[in-house]
Structure 1
């Protein structure tokens, strides 16, 4: 709360961080819509600063590798821009981050520093814990502008390292929200009906997904028309009784996952040996969390067919509903040879996190 109070005071002190017309203001009605692909960030920073410790800290936040991948892929697509090269078009970007330190006398950083009032710089000088300012819709509607700053490089790097997960999560949640509006504009009601009947959960999936297999306790959905510009994405849902905490141990999650795919999912249904398995040569990454009051383990890993004819990456969630005495495993996996999987995995994450495993049917239904 103290941190939030300081930020609130700092926001009040920043007097010139708004894009203005000749009257000193810009009404919402005159602003254009922000533009930019999902997961894209425009990073406005002096190139020399980006080549040093500040850049290293920023890369750890925005360009660190996604875990469990077949090959290296960063969390976000970052484009760096010199502050002196900012155009009106670039200022319309959906995700815009300005980075500077107030002791930097270089021309590029001075362009950013000029946007801060003397009072705001003094406040940052007196409170080194203040390092960021978030402004929505500054130059365009639907835009996120984040200012990251410090009195010195050492101070800024220290704050970036301490608050990296918070900064990263800000953009992960934001991009998931943007994608959700696009993906779920048209929902597949037939798939949800199958999930309610066979799994006992409610799902929200795009209308473009079709039912590949539906049996009691299992549902498999798939995009029908993958192409060179579109990944082959499958989603599947499984339920069984929850009887022991041991079911949530990482090795048992992998065993459960592979038992499901061995029974239901094949690279070629005519070839029994083509069932899908986890690729153990690439260490799976596990993360525990709580979603809607249910203990959840996220797993990011790679897969292959048992006969090694196909492979890709996957994102899964093991969810426990103790009240219902049920354990759910939900997953999305990608087949997209020699292409980036980041966008497909973000789509999977967005869809799966809209799953309601605590759903209970109406008594009259």
Structure 2
């Protein structure tokens, strides 16, 4: 182990500073004046109270409030709020948010939500749903600029429930794509630190768009680059290194785990003696999958880190990229320490940076 080991202070004092929607046939645009607002990864569901209580609310919770993978304490992929359509009229602020899902049972012709849908969508679309049993549609900017509404429609209650279970993956992807764009703007609102980007490229053989606000943590080696950004009550961290490619076995869950645990043991500790970072895949699983990142084959890993012999932990995401031209593997890891804070959006910010990685 290196004679000089950077002691990472895990204490708050250091932190001062839808690709497709199934049967979708319509995409219309309204002409509003105000600009939409709202927190990232928030979602408003518009439906009748009777529909919501008759099983739709449970389905929405299952599909759209599923746990974000992976955090020490469960947090949903979306923060969902339910309202009836009348509230948009009574309280116009409800109509100026960004993401909406409208759930309608067309068999209930007296339903305020059905009346809203009949007013918004074409007769052709409504007839298609009544003929086929189910359908979806998308509209933009109904009440404010920069918002989208996904309509999920059933000719009756059962068709609505069944159809929702079939199309929700596409709806989630569509919503996440829009939120991903917003998160990128948030991540890079201070611009790009090209100096740090050049350092990563020269030392680690990878290009990375480093946002403003990150600083390089001093280590006694140039083989590992550690970048850190302090925000109120949290620390965002990115580590980059490269290792020689020896065999295909390295591009695996075991290979990713070995590299990450080695870096944690050698470079990351708390103020307590005999402490080091390691993956905790006993209490929560280490999820890995093969993927492609900017043209390079990669293994993505998500899990929980902890400090051995201390009581500190948090989420991480890692990418192990295959640089076939230089016969090397590039390892890019991001982790968050944020005791007492929700971590989903912090992790999403780190992921934005890591997914900019390309091998040279």
- With normalisation by structure 2, the TM-score equals 0.85
| SS in structure 1 at match of 2:180 | helix
1:48–1:282 distance in 2 versus 1, CA, 3 Å: same
What is the rounded CA distance, in whole Å, between the counterparts of 1:218 and 1:48 in structure 2?
57
- Cross-structure match for 1:278: 279
Deviation by residue 1:182-241 (Cα, 9 ceiling, x = unmatched): 3223111221011011111111122111111464332111113x324xx21111112112
For structure 1, which segment, 132-141 or 337-346, has the greater mean C-alpha deviation from structure 2 after superposition? 132-141
1:153–1:245 distance in 2 versus 1, CA, 3 Å: farther
Deviation by residue 1:276-323 (Cα, 9 ceiling, x = unmatched): 111122112223322223222222211111122321111222222333
- Cross-structure match for 1:221: 227
Answer yes or no: is 1:138 the counterpart of 2:142.
Answer: yes
What is the rounded CA distance, in whole Å, between the counterparts of 1:298 and 1:109 in structure 2?
42
| SS in structure 2 at match of 1:313 | strand
- Cross-structure match for 2:238: 235
1:320–1:310 distance in 2 versus 1, CA, 3 Å: same
What is the rounded CA distance, in whole Å, between the counterparts of 1:173 and 1:243 in structure 2?
37
What is the rounded CA distance, in whole Å, between the counterparts of 1:58 and 1:75 in structure 2?
12
Which of 168, 174, 179 in structure 2 is aligned with 1:170? 174
Q: Is the 8 A contact 2:29 2:141 kept in 1?
A: no
Q: Is the 8 A contact 2:22 2:167 kept in 1?
A: no
- Cross-structure match for 2:152: 148
Q: Which runs of 5+ in 2 are unaligned?
A: 1-19
Q: Is the 8 A contact 2:24 2:138 kept in 1?
A: no
Answer yes or no: is 1:158 the counterpart of 2:159.
Answer: no
1:4–1:148 distance in 2 versus 1, CA, 3 Å: closer
For structure 1, which segment, 90-99 or 135-144, has the greater mean C-alpha deviation from structure 2 after superposition? 135-144
| SS in structure 1 at match of 2:243 | strand
- Cross-structure match for 1:187: 192
- Cross-structure match for 2:126: 121
- Cross-structure match for 1:324: 326
Deviation by residue 1:76-133 (Cα, 9 ceiling, x = unmatched): 11111111111322211111221112123563433433324443211222234x5221
Quote how far apart the aligned CAs of 1:139 are. Answer: 2.4
| SS in structure 2 at match of 1:157 | helix
Q: Which runs of 5+ in 1 are unaligned?
A: 12-16, 20-25, 360-365
Q: Is the 8 A contact 1:213 1:221 kept in 2?
A: no
- Cross-structure match for 1:23: none
- Cross-structure match for 2:14: none
| SS in structure 2 at match of 1:149 | strand
What is the rounded CA distance, in whole Å, between the counterparts of 1:343 and 1:273 in structure 2?
31
- With normalisation by structure 1, the TM-score equals 0.84
- Cross-structure match for 1:197: 202
Quote how far apart the aligned CAs of 1:335 are. Answer: 1.0
Deviation by residue 1:232-288 (Cα, 9 ceiling, x = unmatched): 1111112112222211221232122111111122223xx562211111221122233
CA RMSD in angstroms comes to 2.4
Answer yes or no: is 1:351 the counterpart of 2:353.
Answer: yes
What is the rounded CA distance, in whole Å, between the counterparts of 2:111 and 2:131 in structure 1?
25
Equivalent residues, number: 335
Quote how far apart the aligned CAs of 1:4 are. Answer: 8.9
| Structure showing greater relative contact order (alpha-carbon pairs closer than 8 Å, 6 or more residues apart) | 2
What is the rounded CA distance, in whole Å, between the counterparts of 1:296 and 1:218 in structure 2?
19
Q: Is the 8 A contact 1:184 1:204 kept in 2?
A: no
Q: Summarize the alignment of residues 22-33 of structure 1 with structure 2, pairs less than 5 Å apart.
A: 26=31, 31-33=33-35
